Amino acid sequence: MKKKQNKDINPYVVITGASAGIGESVALTLAAQKQGLILTARRLDRLKALKKKCLQAGAPDVHIFKLDIQNRIQIEKLSKELKKKKLKVKTLVNNAGLAKGVELLQNSNPDDFDSMVDTNVKGLLYMTRALLPEVIAQKGHIVNLGSVAGRLVYEGGVVYCATKFAVRAISDALRMDLKGTGVRVTNIEPGMVQTEFSVVRLGNQQKAKGVYEGMMPLSAQDVANTILWCLSQPPHVNISELVIYPTDQASVGQVVRGDKSIKNLVRQ
């Protein structure tokens, strides 16, 4: 027998880029907290599989939408669809983001500029603007996935760092715009996290594996746990920004490996 959908489950959490990595972990973590979910990503097959896992984990209701965060028309259609279904959105997790290439700017591909800016900056803005009236009505929470690259730059990261500096600026300015509405804005800024991030950036599985060789990076679950903690604070508490490094990474470009890695130190 087909499970009857509970139409009284409100409000929901919207997660962009939910088909893998941090987005997937956030979805499963919130599902275990009995949270209704609205999941978006480009890969519909993965979303279908994730929906099943979230329902099994305890989510009372899960909606999935194939969505390219770079496409403003698709985002506007999503907003209209949520209103049509009377799905109230209290929390938006702007997780979708990517990096492309590590070349010096003079050797880089301008197409990669568009991909990073359109996803990390414009997509985040489009999504936030589309859902903001509902989030304001619910006195909700916006969580942006920034990066330590939004605080410190590095060689070969001109455009990616610029987009994450933008996420930081957007988060801080949005918090000002929303003062008095009851809406909280949090910028999560992780260091090295082992997900598909490096595969997308480098376009090579073996090279991506080498990024984390000999050290212990953060996992997607580590970041998801951090986001859950931020969301779990009482309404008068706003964790405005949270920087989270793996112990093996002291700063951008400062990473220990081998015998000095925490995974080997704890064995001693």
Question: How far apart are alpha carbons 184 and 182 in whole angstroms?
Answer: 6
Give me the helix-helix angle, 44-57 and 21-31, nearest 10°: 30
Q: Which residues contact 120 (CB under 8 A, 6 or more apart)?
A: 97, 98, 160, 163, 164, 166, 167
β-pairing verdict for 249-251 and 254-255: antiparallel
Position 237, amino acid: V
β-pairing verdict for 89-94 and 241-244: unpaired
H or E element, residue 250? strand 249-251
Kindly state the DSSP code that residue 259 receives in the 8-state scheme.
G
Q: Which residue numbers are catalytic?
A: 160
Is residue 82 within 8 A of residue 36, CB to CB? The reply is: no
Half-sphere exposure of 91 (CA within 13 A, CB side): 24
Question: How far apart are alpha carbons 109 and 127 in whole angstroms?
Answer: 26
